[in-house]
Amino acid sequence: MRRTLLVIHPGALGDVLLSLPALRGLRGQNPNHEIGIVTGGEVGTLLRACGEVETIFALESDALASLFSEAESVSPPLHDWLARCDLAVCWLADPGHRLYSVLQGLGVPQIIQRSPLSSACEAVHQIDRVMETVQGVVPTGNYGWRLLVPDQAVVAGKARLAELGILEDRPVVAIHPGSGSRHKCCAPALLARVVAWVQANEACPLVLGGPADDALVASLCEACEKPPPVLQQVELLSVAGVLAHADFFIGHDSGLTHLAAALHLPTVALFGPTDARRWAPRGSHVTILTGEDCRCQGWEAVRACLTRPCLQVPVERLIQAYEWRFPRQETVLCGLQDKTTGCLVRLKQLC
């Protein structure tokens, strides 16, 4: 049987996708090994379907908890995997070295245990911090290629768009109004203005909602004069299949924004209280937009902030980002009133 390599990453979708370059580097250095990952079930299913790993040990099955307990508590499938494992990479803290001891006791000869959240990491961006944890076994290189969605999910995504009344005759602009925290999200009224512009300019908006985004999706749709199609409460792989047909994506510091960027979809990422230098997706296809510099000192202050000037991005900048990606042959008149200048904005041809 093939030898194995185990990666442990209990983070959310965005954090796991930021570790993809390091994961790919590990695969490149161990081409004959099977790669297994301990992570959330939906995230793992996405990675396996896209060919990034072979096996998932879902957090929901207590795979990680058992590794912090006793060797006897480890499930037979994971126990068998570790019996053939030559390297375990653990991207999390290990107080008391309990995890390290259990893995060592199960016969894993090489263990890298280091959290990319640790203050000991010297790099700034999270991708570089994760790469720093494995610098002894992964050479420097470009590992940022596009995440490949399987054909079956792409076909299903096209069918799902058709069910929503979205056909291939117009560009699709996917908009995600949520994130892991509502404090990282701009006012739905801003995105409603973008929806109105998209509808008026021969494109089709599609609002995406994650597991905790019901309220923000509802607020956005209520703010729209013509409510857009909505896709929410569907599994992550299905969302990836839909995004494979999108032409543009707008979102916050969220897992879906990182997914869109990983698919190399032209992406606008709205950042406010979180540091884009640390957490933003990378790539020439990504545009980072912010409002004023965030002055909040810590998340208690962020939660108490009502005006969120750091997320007050002029709608014209969002539209210009779209026009830059999809230049037109004529000037577009946008009847949107800028809240700060009180005037109508005429977008100039950018090509």
CATH number of the domain residue 31 falls in: 3.40.50.2000
277 belongs to a structural domain: yes
The confidence score (pLDDT) of residue 202 equals 86
Instruction: Indicate the DSSP class of residue 348.
Output: P
127 belongs to a structural domain: yes
The confidence score (pLDDT) of residue 340 equals 33
Which of 77, 101, 133 terminates a domain? The answer is: 133
**268 beta partners:** 250, 287
Residue type, 29: Q
- Output b/e per residue, 96-121; b: 16+ Cβ within 10 A: eeebbebbeebebeebbbbbbeeeeb
Shared-domain flag, residues 232 and 330: yes
What total of structural domains would you count in the chain?
Answer: 2
Shared-domain flag, residues 70 and 97: yes
Shared-domain flag, residues 129 and 173: no
Could you give the dihedral angle defined by the CA atoms of residues 337, 216, 209 and 263, in that order, rounded to the nearest 10 degrees?
50
Given a contact cutoff of 8 angstroms between Cβ atoms, the answer to whether 328 and 349 are in contact is: yes
The confidence score (pLDDT) of residue 58 equals 96
- Output b/e per residue, 235-244; b: 16+ Cβ within 10 A: ebbebbbbbb
**pLDDT, one tens digit for every residue, the chain (351 residues):** 899 999 999 999 999 999 999 999 999 999 999 999 999 999 999 999 999 999 999 999 989 999 998 888 899 999 999 999 999 999 999 999 999 999 999 999 999 999 999 999 999 999 999 999 999 999 989 999 999 999 999 999 999 999 999 988 899 999 999 998 889 999 999 999 999 999 999 899 999 998 889 999 999 999 999 999 999 989 999 999 999 999 999 999 999 999 999 999 999 999 999 999 999 999 999 999 999 988 888 888 888 888 889 999 999 999 999 988 877 544 343 444 433 333 323 232 222
CA distances to 45, 53, 56, 178 from 78, in Å: 17, 15, 10, 35
Shared-domain flag, residues 231 and 318: yes
Query: Which three-class secondary structure state does DSSP give residue 1?
Result: coil
Shared-domain flag, residues 170 and 115: no
Phi, psi of 282, rounded to the nearest 5 degrees: -105, 160
Question: Which range marks the domain in which residue 9 is found?
Answer: 4-133
Task: Find the helix or strand (DSSP H, E) in which 111 lies.
Answer: strand 111-113
Shared-domain flag, residues 155 and 129: no
79 belongs to a structural domain: yes
163 belongs to a structural domain: yes
143 belongs to a structural domain: no
Tell me how long the chain is.
351
Shared-domain flag, residues 328 and 200: yes
Shared-domain flag, residues 110 and 187: no
Handedness of CA 43, 44, 47, 49 (dihedral sign): negative
Which of 103, 133, 163 terminates a domain? The answer is: 133
Q: Which residues contact 339 (CB under 8 A, 6 or more apart)?
A: none
146 belongs to a structural domain: no
The confidence score (pLDDT) of residue 335 equals 42
Shared-domain flag, residues 225 and 104: no
The confidence score (pLDDT) of residue 328 equals 59
Q: Which two tokens stand for residue 279?
A: 């957490």
210 belongs to a structural domain: yes
Shared-domain flag, residues 273 and 318: yes
Q: Which residues contact 169 (CB under 8 A, 6 or more apart)?
A: none
140 belongs to a structural domain: no
Which of 133, 164, 188 terminates a domain? The answer is: 133
